[in-house]
Chains A and B, each alone.
Chain A
Amino acid sequence: MITADRLRGVMQTSIVLTELQHNQVQVRLVQILLSMTMVFAALDPAALILGAHTSLTHQVALLAYSPTLLAYSFVALAVLMLPHALMQAFCPAHPWRRGITQLACFALLLASLQWMYLAYLSLALDIGAITFIWIKTAIGALGYSLIMALSLNAERARQYFDCHQ
């Protein structure tokens, strides 16, 4: 009978993963997907504000102090999130991973604030759908940021208790 364990023993470079390896790969892939999604989600309003002048997002941003500044700050935040996504894809054990994760965490926080600001401005237009869209995106970004922060805190707590045992 051919089992996964026997295959692993027979094949030198096996594609048959243990359950733990399988779970790790799945988690890593979902992390990469989420990070890249957040990068592109931050680029969306910038493209709409700068490039699509008939869009509702552009009309909402016109109520802000400076629509151009809002758009380019979204681009800057996407750029700050990009190293985290690339690190997770290509070098997950990078020595700077903690700093890079903190950078992405704070960039996501600021992005969620900006999405909430867009929702706040869109209240004046009295279109519930567009307000809902920005609130939903802000809550998503805040949730992913919270997950990263929990991970950072857990790592820190582990280091602390390893040192003080």
Chain B
Amino acid sequence: MKTSSFATLALSLLLAGFNHAAELLNVSYDPTREFYAEFNEAFAAHWKAKTGEAVKIKQSHGGSGKQARSVIDGLKADVVTLALSGDIDVIADKANLLPQDWQAKLPNNSSPYTSTIVFVVRKGNLKGVKDWPDLVKPGIKVITPNPKTSGGARWNYLAAWAYASRKAGGDLAKTKEFLRTLYQNVPVLDTGARGSTTTFAQRGIGDVFLSWENEAHLIEKEFPGTTEIVIPSISILAEPPVAVVEKNAKKHGTEALAKAYLEFLYTPEAQNIAGKHFYRPRDKAALAKWSQNFPKINLVTIAEFGGWSKAQSTHFANGGTFDEIYRK
């Protein structure tokens, strides 16, 4: 009895020791947490069925710019799923961990879903926030993260810029003045979108939250009956990109797994999960299925700002327009 017990224990430990699931580190931005939690389950099941191999996906979430810096500084991401292509460009440029043409590796410029920026207001919208001009009114408190560290915050800033520039007929000084006034109404600059969500939804600070569209719906689900979504007259087409961090994946022996992981994002199953989590699917069938969540919005694109590299240096680098307008 005693011998067999020890034999059983030894066998158990042996099996446990051999239980070496393949691992993948996905370094992502703040609001994708819920989406990737469900997507990872689907992918793990798919991978298991296809290869017989168990897979564990480690997730790291934070402000997109900060996450890119962490990868450059040594966070061993196998894949990055960030808020904007500029953040992945920086990884390619500074650390050469993936090729500079990374965006051509997957369909739709390696952006499997899109999103946009909307307003979230308190239930009843007592401050009457309907569009961008309402955000610069005295007494309005606007919640948005720090564009220096958050990808979502950069989309917010550019969406506001697009409105202000049109309103001012392209007058740069007036555009900056609009942004300056708007950011004077921002009481807290969190480092990431999830931090701003907490500030607005849990801590109850602010009248209007400039939010990723999916995050706005998530707030409605998490805090039912407390908020409303307001669609502004103009917003921006956000195309969050994904990429294999090729040199890290090669080092970890996860190249095939990482590639398959990102390719799976484009499958109908994953596109359906994206739609369910309020990301706008690229797949037409999935988009149609979830269309009630995605009202038509007048969207500008990053091309209007000369692409991410130019937008970054003009607006968000040290000494850029954000530094200029954001003086406390």
- Do A and B form a real pair? no
Interface residues of A (CB under 8 A from B): none
